[in-house]
Amino acid sequence: MKPTELEKKQLKSLEFHNDMPIDAYDTALSQKEQTPIISDALFKNKNIYVSKHNRYAPYPTHSHTFLEINYMLRGSCDEVVEGQKVHLEQGDVLLLDVGSKHSVGYLGTNDLLINVLFRDKEINLDLLSDLRSSKSVLYEFLLNRRIGDDSKIHFLIFGHEDEKEVQETLDRIIEEYFLERDFSDTIISSYLSILIAQLVRNYKVDMNKPMSKPQQIAVQMLKEINTNYQDISLEKLAAKYDYNRNYLSNLFKKEVGDTFSNVLTKQRLINANILLTSTTLPVAKIITKVGIKNRTFFYKKYISYYKVAPGSSRKKVSSPVEFTQEDRHNH
């Protein structure tokens, strides 16, 4: 709560005073995007940077080459992210993707906004949604539909009502950062991994958003794929719901953005991956269990989707592609 020297200046002038060092900006990228862009140079030797957002003046539009979390520790504030207005209440968490342009409105004395910046380039919001939707093509469709026509996810909001564990982890990160106790950097890095997993687990899609009739049919078809992926087909759905097969095929492609066959294969691959990484079933049995009849087709599609052979997934080898003896034989 104690005012910083810069906050005192802003309170006196009611104008923004920039305390960001000039070498923290990416000059070339800023000129190209015509927006101030803060670079990884801000971190120096750290992987995470935590700061209290300066009060008493609006913060102008800017961007960054890293991920940013805005945590409303007390009070409230208004932001604009990629042209969209965002309001944060106490306890709310806003996760901003790399490159997202945003501005922060005026913060008063009782408004405490904490910025948590981290530069793991392997983590982005598209990855978060992929992780959360890893068990369901239905979830992925609903997520994309919620976002709209633009497939790029610029930000996610986690409300204060039911994301207590996210808030608690952020509180621990803030304490470790500012108290500077022994091993704080190691503990903060561990908390950051926990925080990412919690954000993935807690992000929710609004299932009650009004849908058109074609969207309702597409969602119903996706539910069928999700539940009955082993033996579902367009012919069976057409008979079950009394629709023309070609009509369902065209409707599905238009609403989901991919063919029924491709989405069904994706769901089967997802479930095959779950079995590979959580059971000791032979690959041959897994292929049959998920409803795929052609082994060569399975290996080709699995490698294309997961970038590793099935045997490598089981061994949790992500890169480079390595083939087990069974993989080589089947492939």
The CATH code of the domain that includes 182 is 2.60.120.280
201 vs 249, more confident: 249
pLDDT at 162 > cutoff 90: no
Asked if 177 and 264 sit in the same domain, the reply is no
Please report the pLDDT score of residue 323 as a whole number: 42
Asked if 161 and 60 sit in the same domain, the reply is yes
This model's pTM is above 0.75: no
Residue 227 lies in a domain: yes
* Final residue of a structural domain among 173, 202, 231: 202
Asked if 184 and 47 sit in the same domain, the reply is yes
Residue 207 lies in a domain: no
* Final residue of a structural domain among 140, 168, 202: 202
Burial class (CB in 10 A: 0-12, 13-18, 19+), 24: middle
Asked if 118 and 245 sit in the same domain, the reply is no
Per the structure, how many domains does the chain have?
Answer: 2
Confidence band of 201 (pLDDT split at 50, 70, 90): confident
Please report the pLDDT score of residue 186 as a whole number: 86
Asked if 183 and 271 sit in the same domain, the reply is no
Please report the pLDDT score of residue 102 as a whole number: 93
Q: What is the mean pLDDT of the chain?
A: 82
Range of the domain at 302: 213-330
Mean pLDDT of 87-100: 89
Residue 56 lies in a domain: yes
pLDDT in tens, 257-292: 889 999 899 889 988 988 888 888 999 999 999 999
CB count, 10 Å around CB of 282?
10
Contact 173, 49 (CB under 8 A): no
Mean pLDDT of 177-186: 89
* Final residue of a structural domain among 167, 202, 237: 202
Asked if 115 and 155 sit in the same domain, the reply is yes
CA angle 57, 63, 64 (to 5 degrees): 120
Asked if 220 and 294 sit in the same domain, the reply is yes
Asked if 217 and 239 sit in the same domain, the reply is yes
- In whole angstroms, what is the distance from residue 277 CA to residue 304 CA? 18
Asked if 104 and 140 sit in the same domain, the reply is yes
Asked if 19 and 72 sit in the same domain, the reply is yes
Residue 208 lies in a domain: no
258 vs 145, more confident: 258
Asked if 241 and 180 sit in the same domain, the reply is no
Percent of the chain, pLDDT > 70?
81
Confidence band of 317 (pLDDT split at 50, 70, 90): very low
pLDDT in tens, 239-259: 998 999 999 999 998 888 889
CATH number of the domain that residue 269 is part of: 1.10.10.60
Asked if 147 and 230 sit in the same domain, the reply is no
